[in-house]
Structure 1
Amino acid sequence: MDHLLAIKVFCRVVEAGTFSRAADLLDIPKSTVTKLVQELEAHLQLKLLHRTTRRVTVTMEGAAYYEKTNKLLHELEDIESNISNEQRTPRGRLKVDMASAIANFILLPALPAFIQQYPEIQLELGVSDTNIDLLTDNVDCVIRGGELSDTSLIAKRIAELKFVTCAAPHYLQQHSTPQTPDELGAKHRIIYYRSRKTNRVMPLRFSNKQQSMEIQQQGSQLSVNDSTAQLTATLSGLGVSQLPLFMAQPYIDNGQLQLIMTDWQRAAFPLYLIYPQERHLSGRLRAFANWVMDVFQPHRPY
């Protein structure tokens, strides 16, 4: 048995969920994948996987084995990459997670330039408004906003996102245009953003030179847990929203959205590129981090 190859194959089966998909990803016969996993289990005298006709699930022992060996495989890959001048020619797999709006409105439109510049980096992008655990999910880095509480992570501030309060013109024609937060909270429908992780509805926040206020209606008619869905709901005339300016700007420019209460601003939202302290800063991660800083440059006031 090629021990190292068997470990690599086992890890890919865990990630792919089936032997067939793992074989396709590795470009080797399914029979070879099956044989190597069976030999690895025999060597360890442990059952690593539960097999059904549709899917493979990991045993408790298999999950522990995957967590440790996958980390070692990444470290080995980084060592080999450095030795082979990977710093000059970044290559290999890079797993990145980010929120839906960041992916769809900023990163993905700019991504062709990155792929052209670094053709040997295989990007695996996770797109979700759910915060993930970098170590548990074996992700190289994430792009996330808000205040940071985990001091075990390295965070590079890449942007300050401005928010605006807006609504569709046809909604405002039907319901009038609010002039103050109090009027907005008392007389208007608000489309709230709801956290996937906590299910908590996020209030609308406002500040001017004299005071700061929050609005959170009890029993609100509509809340969504995806920022792109919040934009769609606002465009559909379902109510008033606070949206990141980078999402709203194209629709403000073409008249599909209208800014309101411009004297009342929401504080800018810090955005970070985050990665674990123990994660070796490989050439591919360094290349991606530098590229991200350039992409978000227009969103930094400093």
Structure 2
Amino acid sequence: MDRLATLDLFVRIVDRSSFSAAAADCGVSRPVATAAIKALEQRLGTRLLQRSTRHVRPTEEGAAYYRRCVAILADLEDADRGASGAVAGLLRADVIGRLARMILLPALPAFLARHPALTVHLGEGERFVDLVREGVDCVVRTGTLPDSDMIARPLGVMEEVTVASPNYLARHGTPASPDDLQGHQMIGFVSSRTGQPLPLEFTRGDEVIEVSLPARLLVGGVDTYAEAARLGFGLVQVPRYGFEDDLANGTLIEVFPDFPPTPTPVSVLYPSNRQLSPRVRVFVDWLVEIIGPRLHRQCA
């Protein structure tokens, strides 16, 4: 391997904590990757990586070398982009499925036409992932974000509504306020962070009220959550965006709109410990360009 390819391999090994994953990313075999790093350590006269049966971690010298390599590779990519005007390579992003299907995918052809040398690997998920360990460049997530070493760039907020199906309301009655929820049930949406169902949340003036109702059905995905509501399993809180048809045709009925849930923030997250590559930068800027205005129009 040439010197530059070896630097890229070393960075990927640290990012992925795995020789095998990094070798696959670089399109080489594990023995080739192992030999290249061994030769690099011999040339530098120091050990860069601590290897165990489960993980690969940088030594103190390896961590310092990693930071220099990340800066060098990012500067080189910036220089290439400046010379050619092109953004190239593979970008890995993980996005909430509903936003991907309703906003990103319809706009993606124009983005790819603008950057013909760029390939996008679009994953779909709602859990918080270790971006560096899993080789993901950025993620789009909703809600209050946990403390982490990632940079969060706001994309907008989604208006939330409390809804239920007509047959559920026929059986349990239509509550007029959060004080009328005795005897009602919710569909429990299980948090990927806590493993517990999220309470329903309402605002009354400046006050935020949390209510946990009995739940005979617990789910972990937004689409299942919404479909269970349509089938009458209980009350749910969902973004108004994407459910306009359900509300317009009466499949779902909004209850006590005067006590709405707090809006849900939408953010794109990317690692803070490495220089943002040009391909990630243009993708993040594009997300701000397409998601923010759509959510703003929905909340207006």
Q: TM-score category by the smaller chain?
A: 0.7 to 0.9
Q: 1:33 aligns to what?
A: 29
Unaligned runs of at least 5 residues, structure 2: none
Q: 2:53 aligns to what?
A: 59
Q: Distance in 1 between matches of 2:164 and 2:33?
A: 56
Q: Distance in 1 between matches of 2:271 and 2:216?
A: 40
User: Which residue among 168, 173, 179 is the counterpart of 1:171?
Assistant: 168
Q: Distance in 2 between matches of 1:270 and 1:153?
A: 16
Q: Distance in 1 between matches of 2:263 and 2:34?
A: 54
Pair 1:280 & 2:281 matched: no
Using the TM superposition, give the Cα deviation of residue 162 of structure 1 relative to its aligned residue in structure 2, in angstroms. 0.7
Q: 2:294 aligns to what?
A: 298
TM-score (ref. length: structure 2): 0.76
Q: 2:194 aligns to what?
A: 198
Range 171-180 or range 69-78, more displaced: 69-78
Range 79-88 or range 280-289, more displaced: 79-88
Alignment: residue pair count: 287
Q: 1:223 aligns to what?
A: 218
Please tell me whether the aligned partners of residues 149 and 273 of structure 2 are also in contact (alpha carbons under 8 angstroms).
no
SS in 2 for 1:247: coil
Q: Distance in 2 between matches of 1:210 and 1:3?
A: 59
SS in 2 for 1:119: coil
Q: 1:248 aligns to what?
A: 243
Q: 1:200 to 1:105 in 2, by over 3 A?
A: farther
TM-score (ref. length: structure 1): 0.76
Pair 1:118 & 2:112 matched: no
Please tell me whether the aligned partners of residues 7 and 40 of structure 1 are also in contact (alpha carbons under 8 angstroms).
no
Pair 1:289 & 2:295 matched: no
Q: What does residue range 1-302 of structure 1 map to in structure 2 within 5 Å? A: 2=2, 5=5, 11=12, 33=29, 36-37=32-33, 39-40=35-36, 43=39, 59-60=53-54, 62=56, 64=58, 75-86=71-82, 88-148=85-145, 150=147, 152-184=149-181, 186-209=182-205, 212-218=208-214, 220-296=215-291, 297-300=293-296
Q: Distance in 2 between matches of 1:240 and 1:289?
A: 35
Q: Distance in 2 between matches of 1:268 and 1:34?
A: 47
SS in 2 for 1:158: strand
Identity %: 28
Please tell me whether the aligned partners of residues 97 and 126 of structure 1 are also in contact (alpha carbons under 8 angstroms).
yes
Q: 1:222 to 1:109 in 2, by over 3 A?
A: farther
Using the TM superposition, give the Cα deviation of residue 40 of structure 1 relative to its aligned residue in structure 2, in angstroms. 3.5
Range 198-207 or range 150-159, more displaced: 150-159
Q: 1:118 to 1:63 in 2, by over 3 A?
A: same
Q: 1:129 to 1:34 in 2, by over 3 A?
A: closer
Using the TM superposition, give the Cα deviation of residue 152 of structure 1 relative to its aligned residue in structure 2, in angstroms. 4.4
Q: 1:74 to 1:224 in 2, by over 3 A?
A: farther
